[in-house]
Amino acid sequence: MAYLGDFLGTLNREIALARVQGDVEAVRIAEIYAHDPLLKHFPVPRFRLPTLSVRVPVAVQRLDAPPPGTVGGVVDGNRLRPLISNAVDDQLTSLGATLPIEARRELDRVVGERVDALVARDEDLLGERAVADDLAAVVAAALPESTVRGRLGISPDDLRTGIRERLRVALVPARVLPPRLEVLVTDTQLREASDNVIELNLTLTEEAVEWTVVEQAEGGDAPRLVPE
C-alpha cells in the first residue's frame, strides 16, 4: 500500500529525473560534436517532453479518519482556547483597553462552548480561515455592543475583523496533517482488486526553473529560483 500523494509525488519526481538524464546526455553528445571535425558544424540534438499524458491505475484501500481532537481535521482543537485568548489580549492591547472581569469570564465561557462543539464535530469547517472566521464572530457576538463601543471604542464589526486577522496568523502553527488516502499500486495488488480499480488520467506540463541573483533591499545579493 502507498499514500496516493506519495505515489503521485514519486511519479512526478521520476519524470523530473528523466529530464535530468536527458540534459546530461545532451551535454555528453555536445562534447562529442565539439571534438569531431564534421559533427561540430551540426546542431546538437536535445529532446524534451513539454507535455506528458499518463494513465495511472490505482485501487482505493483506505481513507484515514481525521485526527481526534481536531476541528474539521485541519486544526488542533486543544490549542484553540489559548490561541483565542491571546488574540483577544493582543486586540485589547492594541486598543489600549480592558474588559470588565465578568465580561471576560462570559466571553471565555461562550468561546469554550463553541470550541467544544467544533471539536465534537457538531459542525465541520473547511480550513483554518473558516475556523478563524467562525471564532471571531463568536467573540464579537459574545460581548454586548455597549461594552465593545464603550470600553474598546470600536464597532462589533471592527472587533470581529481584528480578531479574525490575528487568529488566521495564530492558527498556522496549529495545523495538522489532513487525512491521507491509501491506494494499491503494484501489479499484483491491482490484479487482486480488479473490481475496484480506478484510472487516473494525468497531464503533466513541464515548467523549468533557473537560478538567478536578486539584489536584496538590505544590501547584498541572494540566489533565487525563478521560472525559465
More confident residue, 124 or 158: 158
Q: What is the mean pLDDT of the chain?
A: 88
d(CA 33, CA 26): 10
Q: Provide CB contacts within 8 A for 72, sequence distance 6+.
A: 66, 118, 124, 125, 126, 127, 130, 131
Q: Could you tell me the pTM of the whole model? A: 0.64
> Which range, 32-36, 87-91, 211-215, 217-221, is most confident?
32-36
pLDDT given at position 32: 96
CB 197 within 8 A of CB 58: yes
Q: Provide CB contacts within 8 A for 66, sequence distance 6+.
A: 72, 73, 178, 179
The pLDDT-based confidence of 120 (bands split at 50, 70, 90) is: confident
Beta strand 197-205 with 209-215 is: unpaired
More confident residue, 178 or 13: 13
Rounded to an integer, the average pLDDT of 24-31 is 94
pLDDT given at position 124: 65
Task: For residue 65, give the 3-state DSSP assignment.
Answer: coil
How does pLDDT run across 55-112, given as a tens digit for each residue? 999 999 888 887 788 887 788 888 888 889 999 989 888 888 888 888 889 999 999 8
Q: Which three cell numbers stand for residue 88?
A: 483577544
Q: Which residue has the cell 457538531?
A: 122
d(CA 226, CA 228): 6
The pLDDT-based confidence of 183 (bands split at 50, 70, 90) is: very high
Q: Which residue has the cell 509525488?
A: 9
